[in-house]
Structure 1
Amino acid sequence: MIGYYVHHQGAGHLARARAVARGDAARFTLLGTGLAGRTGSLPVIDLPDDRAAGRAFDGRDGAADRPEALHYAPLGHDGVRERVARISDWIATRRPALMVVDVSVEVAMLARLAATPTVYVRLSGSRTDPAHLEAFRGASAILAPFHSDLDDPAMPDWVRAKTWYAPGLVETMPDPAVDPARVVVVFGAGGGDADGAALAEAARRTPDLTWRVLGPMTPVTDPPSNLVVLGWVEDVATEIAAAGVVVGSAGDGVVAGVLAADRPFVCLPQSRPFDEQSSKARALARAGAAIALEAWPEVEAWPDLLARARALSPTARQHLLQGPDAAAIHDRLLQLADAGDRSGDRA
């Protein structure tokens, strides 16, 4: 058995889990909050919520005396206590050969304390703080859902040496007809609402294009007819694959979908801890795979920005998708779990 811990912040963690597990209910169990009904045939261990009531989750617990090996360990939180107990009980009962952790240094440490090898999913950015480095050090392997060319320059060599770079960690991509006049806007589930007024201005400035917005957007009093707000959609991959140009964040899920669909990309990184999205946006621009901006542009800039994105060579995007895909990582995890099972360490 392989456990796969799925973080609740953002949609990319679950998308990767489904892609890697590939419906293999005999070997994979997903653990996380709010997963019921979203994992297909894969079994789920539902975990109590660890977020503080009444405020948005930002990964900070406000503790002044937290150990450097931890990121989020609030005191006196019943959800955290029950969460730790449920994970520990599942490990003790099912005795998994491996835990994939996407992502939480605390769960990685808990699994290691419970005598279970881990594969830690390493996201983009400058993750060289003590907590991340200790989670990397304790892992049997590290899984990065991006090409090595997109790695942060400050990442230590020993971390890179343990890393499986796997830019193809996406579910099966659809192949719809591409609409050159369609701009798809997607910023992922981990950030705030898209700016409706700014998007309305962009749509008005490009009346020959249709702007389709995925996810929440702030209200617009008088939206133009070529601005279509879809809200949350299950089939994001089809929307991305049909786009003439994608405008979106630098989250791992968005970037992986854009690269897998080989679509022109205007990248607007959102603020994230550890410089996650800004680091990746800069790397995409260096590679010639996207037009990357530090801030939302003036409305007059949109026609030129979209034209520049279309003019980028697809060769750069295709290069950044080279590497193990989800099926290969699935098989590699099985091999690692089976090798550990035969080693006698768990006897």
Structure 2
Amino acid sequence: MIGYYVHHHGDGHRQRALAIAQAAGGGITLLGTGLTGRTGRIPCVDLPDDRLTAGSFDGADHVGRPGSLHYAPLDHEGIRWRVAKIADWIASARPRLFVVDVSVEVAMLARLASVPTVYVRLSGHRTDRPHLDAYQGASALLAPFHPDLDDEAVDAVIRGKSFYASGIGAAAAPEHVQTDLVVGVVGRGGQPSDGALWAEAARAVPNRRWRVIGPCTAPRDTPPNLELRGWVNDADRHIASAGVVVGAGGDGLVASVIANRRPFICIPERRPFDEQHCKARRLSHLGAAIVSPDWPASPQWPAMIERVEALDPAALAGLHDRDGAAKAAQWLVAMAATPIRQPSA
């Protein structure tokens, strides 16, 4: 039995957990907020919400806290019941392993409950004390990306403790590429995108069709070559059919772009620990994407489209493992089956 904690910010954590659980073929239970009805046949435990404001989460609790924690607001009923429910599940299910994707506090809770943990290590400069304590307390780390995308500043000890598994939750969609189609992708991890900016980009490159998927505001004046689709459940299919993909540096989008080998203009968004900017720098260094630190001005778009189409698709191909989820699942199952050896006195 393996427990797998799923963070509720965005949707990438859930998609990654589902891919691994499905590949394992059983024995994994997901724990997280808002999972009911969204895990298929994978068993889940729905946890009370820990957010200070319903529907939003910035990771800040605005109170003093111990230096080894990120998020510990006081007098929050949801957190009390959340902690109790996780601890109760651990006591009842007696898991051999607990995967944490991601939460320093849940990792500490599982370790305090005497369960070996695997911490999912994301991109970015995560050298603060809470992260390092969670890494130290974990039996191993799961890095859901190719090692070439890892930040060069990551300590060798942390790299050595990491199991790299790229391609988790991302599969190549067998779609016919429409070379004149630019697909803009907006995830759930941030605010709705500004439709007026997409309208400007579409006007700047009028010989291309522009389609935006994900939450986006409607511009006052929509050009005829711009289509706003809103949230879709088949984002991989849209990405696979695109001549060019434009979006931020979130895990789900980057993994899909890599899996489908699509020319990618990456406009990283601000995230804690510079997660997206670190990932974008590695993509640029490898020649796998064109990166713009800010939203491009209208005159820049035509040249950017030409530059990204000139990139070698082989740079993306080398970053994808179509068996990533299966390899991660096999590794976790093997870890759970390994006897725990207590140090001798």
TM-score by length of structure 2 reads 0.96
Contact 1:147 1:323 in 2 (8 A): no
Q: 1:299 is matched with which residue?
A: 298
Q: 2:180 is matched with which residue?
A: 181
Change (3 A) 1:212 1:340: farther
Shift in Å at residue 149 of structure 1? 1.7
CA displacement 1:110-136 (0-9 Å, x = unmatched): 111111111111110000000000111
Contact 1:25 1:41 in 2 (8 A): no
Q: SS at the partner of 2:228?
A: strand
Contact 1:186 1:246 in 2 (8 A): yes
> 1-side partners of 2:287 and 2:322: how far apart?
18
Q: 2:317 is matched with which residue?
A: 318
Q: 1:245 is matched with which residue?
A: 244
> 1-side partners of 2:270 and 2:287: how far apart?
22
> 1-side partners of 2:283 and 2:236: how far apart?
20
The residue type equivalent to 2:33 in the other structure is T
Shift in Å at residue 324 of structure 1? 5.9
Bigger mean CA offset, 241-250 vs 46-55? 46-55
Shift in Å at residue 150 of structure 1? 1.6
Contact 1:187 1:215 in 2 (8 A): yes
Shift in Å at residue 202 of structure 1? 0.8
Q: SS at the partner of 1:22?
A: helix
The residue type equivalent to 1:237 in the other structure is D
Structure 1: which 5+ residue stretches go unaligned? none
Matches for 1:61-210 after TM superposition, within 5 Å: 61-64=61-64, 66-210=65-209
Q: 1:220 is matched with which residue?
A: 219
Change (3 A) 1:130 1:323: farther
The residue type equivalent to 1:32 in the other structure is G
Structure 2: which 5+ residue stretches go unaligned? none
Shift in Å at residue 187 of structure 1? 3.0
Contact 2:102 2:120 in 1 (8 A): yes
The residue type equivalent to 1:160 in the other structure is R
Contact 1:181 1:244 in 2 (8 A): yes
> 2-side partners of 1:251 and 1:24: how far apart?
25
- Cα RMSD of the aligned pairs, angstroms, is 1.7
Shift in Å at residue 300 of structure 1? 1.2
Shift in Å at residue 26 of structure 1? 3.0
Q: 2:278 is matched with which residue?
A: 279
Change (3 A) 1:283 1:106: same
Q: What is the number of residues matched between the two proteins? A: 343
Q: 1:20 is matched with which residue?
A: 20
Shift in Å at residue 54 of structure 1? 5.7
> 1-side partners of 2:272 and 2:26: how far apart?
36
Shift in Å at residue 234 of structure 1? 1.2
> 1-side partners of 2:120 and 2:128: how far apart?
16
CA displacement 1:102-159 (0-9 Å, x = unmatched): 1001111111111111111111000000000011111111111112122122221111
Bigger mean CA offset, 19-28 vs 90-99? 19-28
Q: SS at the partner of 2:39?
A: coil
Shift in Å at residue 173 of structure 1? 3.2
Change (3 A) 1:305 1:222: same
Bigger mean CA offset, 218-227 vs 82-91? 218-227
The residue type equivalent to 1:36 in the other structure is T
TM-score by length of structure 1 reads 0.95
Contact 2:23 2:325 in 1 (8 A): no
Shift in Å at residue 322 of structure 1? 4.9
CA displacement 1:292-311 (0-9 Å, x = unmatched): 01100111111111111111
Q: SS at the partner of 1:42?
A: coil
> 2-side partners of 1:18 and 1:173: how far apart?
17
Q: 1:45 is matched with which residue?
A: 45
The residue type equivalent to 2:19 in the other structure is A
Contact 1:187 1:194 in 2 (8 A): yes
